[in-house]
Amino acid sequence: MTEVLPLRPRGVFVAWVLAVYAMARVVTTTILLIVMQHQVPSGMTGGDDVPVSYFPFTALWDGQWYQTVAQHGYPSELPVGVGGAVQQNPWAFYPLFPLMARAGMALTGLDFPVVGSTIALLCGAGAAVLMGLLLRDRIGAPAAYLVVALWASFPASVTLQLAYTESLAMLLLVGYLYALAKERWLVATAVAVLVGLSRPIAVPLGLVTLVVVVLRWRARRERPITPGTYAAMLASLVGCGVAGLLWPAIAWWRTGVPTAYTDTMASWRGSGTVEPFTPWVGMSEYAFGDTWGPVMLVVMPLLVVAMVAGPWARNLGPDLRTWTLAYPVYLAAVLDPFTSIFRYLIPLFPLLVVVLGAGWADRRGNTWRRLLWRFVPLVVLFVVGQYYWTDILWRFIPPSDYPP
C-alpha cells in the first residue's frame, strides 16, 4: 500500500494544484472572451438579434442538447424520419450532467449556461486535485504539478469550463482510478455506476479493473486477501459491467425500443450505422492522402504503444498503462473520427507524464530544472492550440459548421 502522507503537506499540495488549475482557466477565459467578439449572433447563442455574451457562448453545440435535457428531460418516443431511421435526439447524451444542471437551476434560479459552465468548472477543479494526488506518489510533486498544468492547458481543455461533460467525466475517471490505486473497491464500484450515467467509458475501465484485480490476486501470498476483500474486488468488476449497460437499458425502458441508444447514436453517423474501426480508414485517407493515410493509421497506434510500454513510462504503473492503451482502442471501435477527436483525447492524461519525461523509475531526475525545459514550450504550444481550437471549432459560423 502507498504510504499516507501527512495532512498538512497534502493540504498544501492540493492548494497549489488548485492554483495551477485556476491560472489555466484564467488563460482559457481570456481566449474565450477574445474569440467571442467574432461570434455571429444566432439561435445557438441566444437569438439572432441578441448580442453574444460570455455564458451563452459557453453553451453552444452539445450544450444545446444538455440544456434541452435539463429543461425538458428525455422523450418517451424516438423521432423517426421518412425512411424509418431514428433521428438525432437527446438519448445520445448521458443524464448525470444535465440532471446536476437542473438541480442547480432549481436551487439558484439561474439559467442553464451559467449553471452548466459553473458545474463544469468545479468538476474540472476536482479532477485536477485527484489527478495530482494520483500522480504525486508515482512521479513526485513537481512533476505532478506540471502534468496537471499541461492537462489543464491542452487545446481542447477549453471544454473544462463549457457546458459539456468533459469535466464531470474526468472527475469520475480520475476518482475511479484513485480508488483503485488505494484498493477502495466499494468506492470504485459506486463511482463506476456514476460513470455509467455520465460517459460511455465503462468498457476500458473494466479492463483496467480486471488488470488491477488480477495483480492483487497474484500478490495474495505477500498480502493475504480476506473474503470481504474478494467480494469487494468482484463488486468493482460487476460495477463496470453495470455501468456499461445502464444507460442503454434505461433508454430501452423509457422508450420500449431495445436498441434505442444504439439507434440514436447511429443517427449521428454519416452512414447511419455504427461501424467499428472502418471509418478510421476513410478519415485517415481524407486527412493524409491515399498513401500516407494508411501509414499514419499504423504508425500512430504503434507510437502510443511505444510511449506506454517503454521504461520511460514505468512510473505510470499497470493501471494507468492499461487505461492509456485500452481507451484509444475503445475510441477506435465506437467513434467516427472527426473534429471532436480532440475532446476525446483529454482522458489520455498519462501520456503527458511520458511527454514531460517524468515516467522513469528513477524519480530523482524529476526536478523543476530538468522538467521545465520541456514544460515551457509544451504549455506555450498548448495555449496557442487552445486559441485555434476555440476560434476554428468552438465558434459557430451559421448556418452550419464543423462540431468541436
For the ranges 10-14, 205-209, 352-356, the lowest mean pLDDT is seen at: 10-14
Question: Is the pLDDT assigned to residue 289 strictly greater than 90?
Answer: no
Residues 2 and 181: beta-carbon distance below 8 Å? yes
Across 60-67, average pLDDT: 97
- What's the CA gap between 114 and 211, in Å, rounded? 40
C-alpha cell belonging to residue 383: 495555449
Closest CA to 349 of 203, 169, 161: 169
Mean pLDDT taken over the chain: 93
Closest CA to 201 of 390, 333, 289, 369: 333
pLDDT (tens digit, 9 = 90+) per residue, 165-219?
999 999 999 999 999 999 999 999 999 999 999 999 999 999 999 999 999 999 9
Residues 20 and 145: beta-carbon distance below 8 Å? yes
- Please tell me the predicted confidence (pLDDT) of residue 57: 97
Q: Indicate the residue type of 186.
A: L
- What's the CA gap between 169 and 349, in Å, rounded? 13
- Please tell me the predicted confidence (pLDDT) of residue 285: 83
Q: Which band of pLDDT confidence, cut at 50, 70 and 90, is reported for residue 248?
A: very high
Share of the chain above pLDDT 90, in %: 81
- What's the CA gap between 127 and 331, in Å, rounded? 21
Closest CA to 44 of 340, 386, 389, 404: 404
Quickly tell me which residue has 484485480 as its cell: 213
Across 292-318, average pLDDT: 93
pLDDT (tens digit, 9 = 90+) per residue, 91-129?
999 999 999 999 999 999 999 999 999 999 999 999 999
What is the CA 344 to chain-centroid distance, rounded?
Answer: 6
Question: Is the pLDDT assigned to residue 133 strictly greater than 60?
Answer: yes
Q: Which one has a higher pLDDT value, 92 or 49?
A: 92
- Please tell me the predicted confidence (pLDDT) of residue 399: 83
Across 379-394, average pLDDT: 98
Q: Which band of pLDDT confidence, cut at 50, 70 and 90, is reported for residue 245?
A: very high
- Please tell me the predicted confidence (pLDDT) of residue 8: 52
- Please tell me the predicted confidence (pLDDT) of residue 337: 79
Residues 157 and 387: beta-carbon distance below 8 Å? no
Q: What is the C-alpha end-to-end distance of the chain, expressed in Å?
A: 41
Question: Is the pLDDT assigned to residue 69 strictly greater than 90?
Answer: yes
Across 301-310, average pLDDT: 94
Residues 308 and 324: beta-carbon distance below 8 Å? yes
Q: Which band of pLDDT confidence, cut at 50, 70 and 90, is reported for residue 401?
A: confident
Question: Is the pLDDT assigned to residue 5 strictly greater than 60?
Answer: no
Residues linked to residue 86 through DSSP beta bridges, in sequence order: 80
- Please tell me the predicted confidence (pLDDT) of residue 4: 41
What is the CA 82 to chain-centroid distance, rounded?
Answer: 35
- Please tell me the predicted confidence (pLDDT) of residue 166: 98
- Please tell me the predicted confidence (pLDDT) of residue 271: 66
